[in-house]
A and B are shown apart, each in its own frame.
Chain A
């Protein structure tokens, strides 16, 4: 039956209303978890606050396992789910540039909007930067179009790449996530920092 939009159970306009509701949930959870503070986000990279790691990986494995079981129960057809395409070069270069932006700016796009919604002016500055950065990309597009489209691999998934069942990969990822949570808890005790 799911995804509902693909199987025409809901209309495109209803889908947009749902997008608004999902966004409200997204923003509410991000803010409640402390993602509206650049201090908390940057803490990840100095060990004093690993909330980002815990929330991010718990969310990824929850959604991943949820989809796995929904598929198993026949509630959801995974072949209709959007899988992000893999362009090897741009994924690596884009990821690197974003990583620099993260440690320099202290936010990522979603968390900046979340912080902006509660009045953080540093988030407003970051969002202004995002607009500029996107304009630079779109205006200079011919300069990086080749890199943007290089090394297209289709839409492979990790389990296909490793040639193992989806569930086995999921289990492995859960174990890796738990190991990282343990390291995160250890780091927070080892490198505590005063709040500001």
Chain B
């Protein structure tokens, strides 16, 4: 295994310091951390409010959300931040010549299998992020930076569970 090919990425410690400065800037300017799943929730709530207004009025989650978040859910900090993520990721990929449509998967599994597992993983992560009040960005990373007990617990359970289950899903990855 002496000739392991390596794609050129930023040094992880340099990347970490830069990401930390982005997170620091978010707290300095806006008094809050980063996030991701919250933006999708805004989109879901907006869609339900628009397409099925009577359903939104009659079900517990949407009424509770709309009462605690007055105004347009799409005009939120996280929605603008996530639009930025798409732009920033695209720019970095363009500079590094990594823009390409592809299904990335371990060569010993099919694209179809990879996509099915990706959808399933997304469903679980989406559900879990709502239950846990934020995902790896909003709850774990941003929570840890402000020393939130909940952030540390969520982080430990996300990574702990993935480590414990890694053995059972190894054929998808190694």
A interface, CB within 8 angstroms of B: 2-6, 10, 15-34, 36-40, 42-46, 48, 51, 54-64, 66-67, 70, 75-76, 80-88, 90-123, 125-139, 141-142, 144-145, 147-148, 153, 155-159, 161, 166, 169-170, 181, 192-196
Contacts and interface: CB of A to CB of B under 8 A. Distances in A.
Contact of A63 (B27, B87, B138): B27
Main secondary structure of the interface of A (DSSP, over half): helix
Contact of B169 (A104, A110, A144): A104
Given A4-B30, A51-B12, A102-B125, A27 B88 contact: yes
Interface of B: 1, 4-7, 9-10, 12-13, 15-37, 40-41, 43-45, 48, 59-62, 64-65, 75, 77-78, 80-93, 96, 98-107, 114-115, 117-166, 169-170, 172-174
A145 B126 CA distance: 16
27 contacts: A29-B10, A29-B88, A58-B17, A59-B16, A60-B141, A62-B16, A62-B17, A81-B31, A84-B148, A87-B133, A97-B125, A97-B128, A99-B159, A109-B136, A120-B102, A122-B105, A126-B119, A132-B126, A134-B126, A135-B44, A136-B126, A138-B48, A138-B61, A138-B62, A141-B64, A142-B60, A155-B148
A169 B148 contact: no
B7 A125 contact: no
B102 A22 contact: no
